[in-house]
């Protein structure tokens, strides 16, 4: 029982990170029907922004909530800027090109960021600064909940609530939903579609930045290719939940995180990566719209 | 994922090109004027970059000393180094390039067994002697009669830690967690298990992970439930550091044991408090009063401003053993050097006295050290069987 509980705690903590990154994939897809492959590398850059910011501000070794929130905000801002630039300079010029062109550009941007990262940051793994002291908050039986796990969960959930509020209750959110529903009609209603798409990239990328700081804190080893695997998993999470569907991304992230911990804990670590992709195949075969996605019949 | 496929396709076609070129006839291999060309390949960048860099520094220092003392056979040694980024496929490319394009007479490399195993068939195919400084997997020298090493092999390292756990720590129930993607880690785990159960101990949990993983909590949670008295983690420092942190985070307080893959100052940087007090087997320790070791440490410190780690010492010994073989060889050919390497006997290196056995593996002793911050404390020496 104790083991089971601990697996659940570990899984929720890992899953909430997948969910944060999955949100970025799903939001962009919801509006542009584009799988933004560069998203996982925006996440990687976020980790390095946090790394250098902590060094620059000299808070690399003073763990506290102030340090944590400072680094979190800086990384989110850095990623937002990067996401905005990628959309502005790589995707916007292709707005009216066939969808495949944009997809290939996205892969190009992803490779560009990964290998520029290796040149700029070096291929050697770096140690993410210690910005939050870890301690045990409470334990039931032998299962422990640490301050780190709790902070990750609370931060992730907090950001998701903010996102939900923006999308459901603000004018910007209304415009985003309208653009997602039908871009051309939205522009006829006086919505500046380009601005809304920029905002989507900014918000999605900022969430990836937050995810990067949370991961860096918990697993303090960062390197330029760190986004590849976690990005793929988050993408699978987004598809699992129903791509384009925001609560779906959160659900998908949690399901994958918990399932991974169980597979590794009870079967073998060899299947960790295989699991996510098996889930992807099964979902595509039996429920292509995802758990929470709705089938939409395309009208001709 | 598709990136990796593309890259390997490019690497493969490059390889085919290289193999196609071949060597020119009649040219003396590896000797240009009064210089003898020796190739080195290692992980100067990538996940295990500190391994490659330390080894390279050791080799560089040794060659500098040899050349300053007049070189070998009246000629200077020229080192050509290539980076394999810590990838087996790049190690193959590097070894091929050193042999076919740079025409080296001998190869020094690699640190990691998986990369030595990838490159060794190339050296064997071209009949160029390859001397690995620190690949401890048994299979490396089994590739062929041109492959040598100056370090002890996995059975010995696994055996050393099993004996140490049983005799010094007096533990009876041990858990093992190893990297399934690494030949080195799998080898150490296997021989640890055999020896430890042979001594009457019990392996109560066996878990695996894959190199580059960052989350080990699931495996550690399973290990925690069976309450081991010690955990053997024969991995590399990047993962071991994170593993130790997560183990302590889950409340596992028992001693952690490992092999020479722990030997890096980054281990403490990543693991911090969690890794303190861990034990690992190593080739040598700076905590020694052997005059040869002291002299090597001084020279190294003067050149690089840091103290040498075990891998630097292995690189240093590898270059010295090779130079000794070149000096003793009857002719300045790869074959002559191979024969001289095979008859290395009682060579006094900084990592112990090296004598090649008939399988081209040296017999020598190992030390067990304890992590005490960025430095390690000498615990005991375990003799070869």
Q: How confident is the model at residue B191 (pLDDT cuts 50, 70, 90)?
A: very high
Which domains are seen in chain A, by residue range? 2-286 (1.10.3470)
* pLDDT for the residue numbered A297: 54
Work out the angle between the directed axes of helices B217-225 and A2-32 (0-180°, nearest 10): 170
Tell me: pLDDT of B1 over 80: no
Q: How confident is the model at residue B164 (pLDDT cuts 50, 70, 90)?
A: very high
What is the mean predicted confidence (pLDDT) over B83-98? 92
Tell me: pLDDT of B63 over 90: yes
Q: Where are the beta strands (DSSP E) in chain A?
A: 126-127, 136-140, 143-146, 221-222
Which domains are seen in chain B, by residue range? 29-152+291-364 (3.40.50.2300), 155-282 (3.40.50.2300)
Flag whether residue A232 sits within 8 Å of chain B, measured between CB atoms.
yes
Q: In whole numbers, what is the pLDDT of chain A averaged over residues?
A: 88
Distance in angstroms (rounded) separating the CA atoms of residues B56 and B40: 8
> Measured at the alpha carbon of residue B62, what is the angle toward residues B60 and B63, in degrees to the nearest 5?
65
Neighbours of A220 (CB within 10 A): 24
Tell me: pLDDT of A285 over 70: yes
Tell me the helices (H) and strands (E) count for chain B, helix number first: 13, 16
Phi, psi values for residue A10, rounded to 5°: -60, -40
pLDDT digits (tens, 9 = 90+) for A61-108: 778 888 899 999 999 999 999 999 999 999 999 988 888 899 999 999
Phi, psi values for residue B214, rounded to 5°: -120, -15
Distance in angstroms (rounded) separating the CA atoms of residues B371 and B359: 33
* pLDDT for the residue numbered A203: 93
* pLDDT for the residue numbered B4: 59
Flag whether residue A288 sits within 8 Å of chain B, measured between CB atoms.
no
- Token pair for residue B203? 């392996």
**Cβ within 8 Å, pair A265-B209:** no
Query: Between B181 and B185, where is the model more confident?
Result: B185
**Cβ within 8 Å, pair B266-A127:** yes
Is the CB of residue B42 less than 8 Å from the CB of residue B83?
A: yes
- Token pair for residue A105? 């550009």
Task: Search chain B and give the residue with CA nearest A263.
Answer: B218
* pLDDT for the residue numbered B6: 57
What is the mean predicted confidence (pLDDT) over B185-196? 93
pLDDT digits (tens, 9 = 90+) for A106-165: 999 999 999 899 888 877 788 888 888 777 777 777 777 888 888 888 998 899 899 989
What is the mean predicted confidence (pLDDT) over A238-255? 89
* pLDDT for the residue numbered B211: 82
Query: Between B6 and B337, where is the model more confident?
Result: B337
Tell me: pLDDT of B53 over 70: yes
What is the mean predicted confidence (pLDDT) over B304-325? 92
What is the mean predicted confidence (pLDDT) over A197-207? 93
How distant, in Å, are the alpha carbons of A51, B30, B74 from that of B344? 49, 21, 21
**Alpha helices (runs of H) in A87-192, residue ranges in sequence order:** 99-120, 147-169, 171-181, 183-188
Q: Is B372 strand, coil or helix?
A: strand
Distance in angstroms (rounded) separating the CA atoms of residues A117 and A226: 11
**Cβ within 8 Å, pair A272-B219:** no
Neighbours of B20 (CB within 10 A): 8
List the one residue out of B131, B124, B142, B120 whose CA is nearest residue B39: B131
A260 CA: distance to closest CA in chain B (Å): 9
Q: Is B37 strand, coil or helix?
A: strand
Is the CB of residue B308 less than 8 Å from the CB of residue B57?
A: yes
Q: In whole numbers, what is the pLDDT of chain B averaged over residues?
A: 87
Query: Between B234 and A10, where is the model more confident?
Result: B234
For chain B, give the percent of residues with pLDDT over 70. Answer: 92
- Token pair for residue B308? 């040498």
pLDDT digits (tens, 9 = 90+) for B228-263: 999 999 999 889 999 999 999 888 999 999 998 898
């Amino acid at each position: 029982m104790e083991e089971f509980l601990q697996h659940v705690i570990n899984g929720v903590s890992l899953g909430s990170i997948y969910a944060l990154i999955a949100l970025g994939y799903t939001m962009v897809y919801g509006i542009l029907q584009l799988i933004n492959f560069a998203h996982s590398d925006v996440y990687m850059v976020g980790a390095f922004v946090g790394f250098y910011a902590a060094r620059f501000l000299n808070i690399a070794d003073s763990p506290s909530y102030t340090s944590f929130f400072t680094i979190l905000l800086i990384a989110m801002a850095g990623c937002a800027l990067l996401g905005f630039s990628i959309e502005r300079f790589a995707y916007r010029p292709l707005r009216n090109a066939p969808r495949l062109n944009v997809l290939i550009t996205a892969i190009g941007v992803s490779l560009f960021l990964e290998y520029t990262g290796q040149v700029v940051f070096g291929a050697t793994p770096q140690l993410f600064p210690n910005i939050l002291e870890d301690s045990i908050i409470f334990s039931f039986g032998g299962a422990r909940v640490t301050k780190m796990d709790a902070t990750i969960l609370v931060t992730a959930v907090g950001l998701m609530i903010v996102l939900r509020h923006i999308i459901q209750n603000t004018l910007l959110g209304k415009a985003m939903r309208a653009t997602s529903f039908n871009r051309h009609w939205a522009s006829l209603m006086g919505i500046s579609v380009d601005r809304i798409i920029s905002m989507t990239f900014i918000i999605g990328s900022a969430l990836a930045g937050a995810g990067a700081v949370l991961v860096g804190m918990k697993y303090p080893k960062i390197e330029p290719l760190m986004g590849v695997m976690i990005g793929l998993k988050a993408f699978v999470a987004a598809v699992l939940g129903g791509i384009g569907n925001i609560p779906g991304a959160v659900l998908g992230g949690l399901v994958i995180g918990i399932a991974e911990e169980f597979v590794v804990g009870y079967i073998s670590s060899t299947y960790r990566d295989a699991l996510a992709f098996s889930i992807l195949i099964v979902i595509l075969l039996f429920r292509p719209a995802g758990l929470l996605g709705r089938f939409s019949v395309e009208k001709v | 994922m598709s990136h990796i496929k593309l890259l390997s396709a490019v690497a493969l076609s490059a390889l085919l090109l290289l193999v196609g070129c071949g060597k020119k006839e009649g040219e003396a291999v590896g000797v240009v004027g009064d210089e003898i060309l020796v190739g080195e390949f290692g992980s100067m960048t990538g996940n295990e970059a500190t391994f490659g860099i330390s080894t390279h520094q050791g080799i560089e220092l040794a060659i500098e000393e040899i050349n300053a003392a007049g070189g070998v056979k009246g000629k200077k040694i020229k080192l050509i180094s290539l980076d394999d980024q810590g990838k087996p496929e790049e190690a193959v490319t590097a070894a091929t390039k050193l042999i076919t394009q740079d025409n080296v007479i001998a190869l020094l490399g690699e640190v990691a067994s998986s990369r030595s195993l990838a490159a060794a068939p190339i050296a064997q195919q071209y009949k160029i002697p390859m001397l690995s400084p620190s690949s401890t997997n048994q299979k490396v020298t089994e590739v062929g009669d041109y492959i040598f090493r100056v370090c002890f092999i996995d059975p010995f390292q696994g055996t050393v830690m099993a004996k140490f756990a049983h005799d010094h720590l007096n533990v009876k129930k041990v858990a093992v967690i190893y990297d399934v993607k690494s030949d080195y880690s799998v080898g150490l785990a296997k021989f640890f298990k055999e020896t430890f159960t042979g001594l009457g101990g019990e392996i109560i949990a066996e878990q695996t992970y894959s190199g580059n993983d960052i989350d080990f909590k699931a495996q550690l949670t399973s290990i925690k439930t069976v309450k081991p008295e010690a955990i053997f983690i024969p991995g590399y420092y990047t993962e071991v550091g994170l593993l130790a942190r997560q183990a302590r985070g889950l409340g596992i307080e028992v001693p952690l044991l490992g092999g020479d893959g722990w030997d890096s100052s980054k281990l403490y940087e990543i693991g911090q408090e969690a890794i303190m007090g861990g034990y690992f087997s190593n080739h040598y320790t700076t905590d020694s009063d052997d005059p040869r070791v002291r002299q090597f440490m001084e020279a190294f410190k003067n050149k690089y401003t840091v103290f040498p780690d075990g891998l630097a010492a292995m690189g240093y010994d590898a270059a010295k053993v090779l130079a000794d073989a070149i000096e003793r060889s009857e002719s300045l050919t790869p074959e002559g050097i191979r024969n001289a390497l095979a008859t290395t006997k009682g060579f006094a290196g900084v990592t112990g006295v090296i004598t090649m056995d008939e399988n081209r593996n040296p017999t020598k002793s190992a030390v067990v050290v304890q992590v005490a911050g960025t430095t390690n404390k000498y615990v005991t020496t375990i003799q070869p069987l």
